[in-house]
Chain A
């Protein structure tokens, strides 16, 4: 701690306090920006004080939920931690989280720092502090207008991990992720073939638009040939191998088997193959994508030496984050909010919606910078199953009109498509159409989610049990 750092921390904390007092948003970045200006090394000096190290969680989908689950696991195991739970995942936001957690004279007292980090910000953070472990959830194509191409994102993550030669916890089922840092210590997690809804025959049959999976093609890093699947889950996730050379899915150490999904959560058997131990996990959040998030969190915890029993307890203790499969009650109606931001995630969310026979639907699409300005991805996501949902489908947000067209071409009768661009009005109307024994699923893009958070707060939300 230099005197510079201490001044920076104090000023940053004051800025945060002022922002909170004025109620000017969450103010998650500004204190960090101020502190960094005064002391460029402040992040390094603060994070460096954690006793057991800094954990980074990155990837396109599931960063927030994975780090939330991991936080729950580590706390259950008795560790203290600092976590950017508000999702401020750029360098300034991470600095702000540290400044907030530090004492006024710049001291940090914690076992771990746990940061979800934006893919592009990972190299910047890695340059300032040693990352003891980096978790990569997956690499879907996402916001191509922001990064240009998927390969660019992969290179950024690789650079971030390489800077500190960090051990990596990687998704074995994602060929885009497995290519990363082959020379580092790597621990893989993956799903058992038991949960395989599409056989390889159907994957290659693209002639039927109605049942086309939003499958994303990958290429072998070694020889450039197409990646093929013995069993396929979604996106580009599955049991993959190169069609030409011997490059293939590594055998994962942390595995989920016997997966059962239902409308409110899932159950699966979690196995640590290295120790030959298994536990039964009841995960309190729905969707196959959340099983992956739980696996990522579990693998990282195991890597850090947490027992499988604590991992199980931690996962089951998880209380949801706003907008990440969180179930709340609004005006007496059950509401489940799930962020959507790219084809793979949205298609999986749609699947979870139609699993719920009581589902009503509101979809809110913005095209602000943080959402991705190109909404083409709406056409790569499988919204077609929503035909099975009862009643109206309400579309909202800046690009409500585009979403209405998407719904029509997904085969939903135009009479059932209701376009209400203003989000608060849309939400009220959707709640009005929902009976107390139904569930309103709200699918917002990122900035719609932020807006929703404010609206829900002003409506006086109350938590619906669990």
Chain B
């Protein structure tokens, strides 16, 4: 088997340890003898919607966000095709915001998103910074670190990724964190997210592989170190 990952804007959105997510996806696939290719996709660079199994977009600073938004809109149609073809998406922070309908800054024009997730984001006055713990609908937990001032509100076509136990989540108001719509995920969790949440990482890998290989059973790995770090993070203060 082979896992094909498209890392969008790898060179722009690389400041919050999001590389850790790529490392986790790659290593956990390799440890199971699944081949992995990671293709960095830069501005104006073609990404064949038939080819990739998993798309990853990280977070960046405000300045980068504008450049990315312009490029993303240009490829909106292709990315929708990719979703229809069964590709999985993991988007973090800035990437997550741009998968929604729009991002409205304090001043200046709205940044148009690509509406893969039924959500919108408005600039907030307070930076939400700290450790986060969320509980998913299957009772599993995700741990990470948030650092954003944008407040994201979900529409009715999308579920939050989990309920906030510690931290702020999407907007610090409605108790939701992240978004999930089919195989498309958005979240504010850095940390990095996937290394410390191996279960979720594996879920992404198998959902991505299922695009071309159907139902995939991943071999179990020894996750003692990962689980220890996860467990430790459960008790971190916000």
Complex Cα gap A149–B147 (Å): 10
Contact present for A380 and B129 (CB under 8 Å)? no
Contact present for A380 and B17 (CB under 8 Å)? yes
Closest A residue to B232 by CB, please name it: A401
Contact present for A209 and B22 (CB under 8 Å)? yes
- Taking the closest CB of chain B, its distance from the CB of A417, in whole angstroms, is 7
Contact present for A145 and B229 (CB under 8 Å)? no
Closest B residue to A421 by CB, please name it: B232
Contact present for A404 and B40 (CB under 8 Å)? no
Interface pairs (22), CB distance under 8 Å: A144-B16, A150-B61, A151-B62, A207-B37, A217-B12, A224-B63, A374-B190, A375-B191, A376-B20, A376-B191, A379-B19, A379-B20, A379-B195, A380-B20, A404-B225, A405-B195, A405-B229, A408-B226, A409-B20, A409-B195, A414-B222, A414-B224
Closest B residue to A212 by CB, please name it: B19
Given A217-B12, A404-B229, A414-B224, answer yes or no on A376-B195 (Cβ-Cβ < 8 Å).
Answer: no
- Taking the closest CB of chain B, its distance from the CB of A52, in whole angstroms, is 40
* Interface size classification for chain B: 35 or more
Closest B residue to A410 by CB, please name it: B23
Closest A residue to B191 by CB, please name it: A376
**Given A379-B17, A402-B229, 12 more pairs with CB closer than 8 A:** A151-B63, A206-B11, A209-B38, A217-B12, A217-B14, A219-B63, A374-B17, A374-B145, A376-B18, A380-B19, A401-B228, A409-B27
Complex Cα gap A417–B222 (Å): 14
Total count of chain A residues near the partner, CB < 8 A: 35
Complex Cα gap A375–B147 (Å): 12
Complex Cα gap A150–B149 (Å): 15
Among the interface residues A150, A377, A409, which one has the most CB atoms of the partner chain B within 10 A?
A: A409
Which listed residue (A217, A375, A376, A404) contacts B228, Cβ 8 A?
A404
- The 8 A CB mask of A397-441 against B (1 = contact, 0 = none) is 000011011101101001001010000000000000000000000
Contact present for B40 and A206 (CB under 8 Å)? yes
Contact present for A206 and B10 (CB under 8 Å)? yes
User: Quick check: is A25 within 8 A (CB to CB) of the other chain?
Assistant: no
Complex Cα gap A408–B221 (Å): 13
- The 8 A CB mask of B22-35 against A (1 = contact, 0 = none) is 11101100000000
Contact present for A377 and B17 (CB under 8 Å)? yes
Contact present for A379 and B130 (CB under 8 Å)? no
Complex Cα gap A151–B190 (Å): 20
User: Quick check: is B74 within 8 A (CB to CB) of the other chain?
Assistant: no
B145: chain A residues at CB < 8 Å are 145, 373-376
User: Quick check: is A148 within 8 A (CB to CB) of the other chain?
Assistant: yes
Contact present for A141 and B15 (CB under 8 Å)? yes
- Taking the closest CB of chain A, its distance from the CB of B206, in whole angstroms, is 19
Contact present for A145 and B129 (CB under 8 Å)? yes
User: Quick check: is B171 within 8 A (CB to CB) of the other chain?
Assistant: no
A376: chain B residues at CB < 8 Å are 16-18, 20, 145, 190-192
Complex Cα gap A404–B196 (Å): 11
User: Quick check: is A378 within 8 A (CB to CB) of the other chain?
Assistant: yes
B129: chain A residues at CB < 8 Å are 145, 373-374
User: Quick check: is B39 within 8 A (CB to CB) of the other chain?
Assistant: yes
Contact present for B17 and A378 (CB under 8 Å)? yes
B7: chain A residues at CB < 8 Å are 206
Closest B residue to A367 by CB, please name it: B236
Contact present for B39 and A207 (CB under 8 Å)? yes
User: Quick check: is B77 within 8 A (CB to CB) of the other chain?
Assistant: no
Complex Cα gap A224–B12 (Å): 13
Complex Cα gap A221–B23 (Å): 32
A374: chain B residues at CB < 8 Å are 16-17, 129, 145, 147, 190-191
User: Quick check: is B127 within 8 A (CB to CB) of the other chain?
Assistant: yes
Contact present for A409 and B229 (CB under 8 Å)? no
